[in-house]
Amino acid sequence: MTSDGRVSQVQRTSEGASHRPYVEARRLTKVYRTPAGEFTALKGIDLQVQRGEFVAVIGKSGSGKSTLINLLTGIDRPTAGEVIIGGEPLHTYDEEQLAAWRGRNMGIVFQFFQLLPTLTLVENVMLPMDINRLYPPAERRERAMLLLEMVELAEQAGKRPSQVSGGQQQRVAIARALANDPGLLIADEPTGNLDSATAESIFGLFARLAAEGTTILMVTHDETLAARTHRAVMIADGEVVNEHVSRALWVLNYDQLAEVQRHVTPITYAPGSVIIRQGEMGEHFYILTGGRADVFVEHPDGHEMPVDHLRAGQYFGEMALIGRQARRATVRAADDGPVEVAALDRAAFNALVEASPGLRHELQRVISLRQLQSEVDALQDVDRATLQRLTADAPTRLIAPGETIIRRGELGETFYFILEGAVEVFAGRNGQEALIDRLGPGAHFGELALLGNRRRVATVRAAGDGPARLIELDETAFAQLRQLSARFAGQVEQTAAERQARI
């Protein structure tokens, strides 16, 4: 144990000179031969884990998580592919070499603890030291006691596994896994058999070890635990789901992500090349998985206006598929490097949107934001993150043709941008209602009550020829937007003055 209380001899952070990943699986394949025939449980997995990373492996039952873990630990042999850990090509090692390497470098924790029932807890922890002989016999018990102290079980050291609880047995199993001070800890559902409070304490132990520099690969069913690691690798049907895809489509569940994985096609675009072009009909939805892309709106005079920049983990192309309209912007690979995307065709995308209310809602929110940014000229100087924050709680309203949105004389506390469709504005003239204006996408209304005496001075309805989609801001968001953007504030004041004059 070091002076600061760590049960570790090595200063792992000083080893980071090499950029090679610590754990590397290359095209890792496992075919099980069963009486019923061959079953491919892993389909050529590539995985890299850097030294010091705490990585969760997630995915539904039967997806191949344990198979992957068993190949990485050398408990089972790959049918094809390579396992390289700390630069050592473990797939080429024989059983004896493997056992020796594993004992020194890797701690393994299973779902069902697997302590030896006839040994006491401290003897269980000493076992790997006895086998690998990295510590002199005289030091082993003391070191085992320090490890038990770390997992808060020193007082139970003389008991047998059956005399302590499941959570305590798992803590002993972790202490045992750390006996030879391994750089890598691999755990297959270590909390899978524990109640949630106990699972939390076990996870806390892993988190502490990770903070001290141990590289950890942990299979878990628990998505909230997975979200607390550095990174989650999702396995579906024996394949790794691209991490940017799962991040971009975080609202989907395991089954839906597995479905995406089955349908996506990876495509690479050269620097500067066009991925989708404004005006063309869209057939694909894209998730950016590498590089950067720029989004432009092309104006009739030929000039291109940049409206957005995209990076890995963001998606595009959804608007044309949802609205069944031509692409509203051009997306081009940035000049500084190639762009990689995962493309999903229209049918697969539609099926996904159909199956997931969460995704529908999320897409709608993103679309509203993009429309706001591309339609409302006055918001062009507000950066995307700010706009996203200000509109996070702003509802999008779909108004039926002819339906009233605000009514003259009523108190008004809201402000509207038009995203799609049109609205008509009616003022009172000689006791009669008169149409005084028609507003389309990008226009706003509702500001007069907020800037004036609170009463609506006109009635606004969705135009009779189609529905209108609006985004509704409350007073606070409206005020913040005016404060943030001089351009927006100026435009609101100008239109307010013009409208006041007309009414």
Are 226 and 187 contacting, i.e. CB atoms less than 8 angstroms apart? Answer: no
Work out which of 61, 162, 432, 453 binds ligand ADP, going by CB under 6 A. 61
Instruction: Please give the Cα distance from 72 to 23 (Å, whole number).
Output: 8
CB of 237 to ligand ADP, least distance (A): 9
Choices 59-67, 260-268, 411-419, 477-485; region in contact with Mg ion by CB under 5 A: 59-67
* Residues contacting residue 217 through CB under 8 Å, at least 6 positions apart: 23, 49, 55, 57, 69, 72, 184, 185, 186, 187
Binding status of residue 101 toward ligand ADP by CB under 6 A: no
Tally Cβ neighbours within 10 Å of residue 33. Answer: 9
Residue 34 binding target from Mg ion, ligand ADP, none, CB below 5 to 8 Å by type: ligand ADP
62 binds ligand ADP (CB under 6 A): yes
Min separation Cβ 213 and ligand ADP, Å: 27
Per CB under 6 A, the segment of 58-66, 113-121, 124-132, 341-349 that binds ligand ADP is 58-66
Interatomic CA distance for residues 317 and 285, integer angstroms? 5
Whether the CB-CB separation of 425 and 437 falls below 8 Å is answered with yes
What does the block give as tokens for 156? 């139970």
| Span 6-35, contacts to ligand ADP by CB under 6 A | 32, 34
- Residue 78 contacts ligand ADP per CB under 6 A: no
Among Mg ion, ligand ADP, none, what binds residue 317 when CB lies within 5 to 8 Å by partner kind?
none
| Phi and psi, residue 162, nearest 5° | -65, -15
Cα atoms in the 13 Å half-sphere on the side-chain side of 382: 26
Minimum distance from CB of 260 to ligand ADP (Å)? Answer: 18
Residues 6 or more apart whose CB falls under 8 angstroms from that of 467 comprise: 398, 399, 400, 401, 420, 421
215 binds, among ligand ADP, Mg ion, none (CB under 5 to 8 A by kind): none
| Region of 21-29, 58-66, 116-124, 458-466 interacting with Mg ion (CB under 5 A) | 58-66
Amino acid at the residue 60? K
Structural tokens at position 3 = 């002076």
Nearer to Mg ion (CB atom), residue 69 or residue 470: 69
215 strand-pairing partners: 184
Closer Cβ to ligand ADP, 239 or 362, answer by number: 239
Residue from 8, 66, 120, 246 touching Mg ion (CB under 5 A): that is 66
Residues that bind ligand ADP (CB under 6 A): 32, 34, 39, 41, 59, 61-67
Binding site for Mg ion (CB under 5 A): 65-66
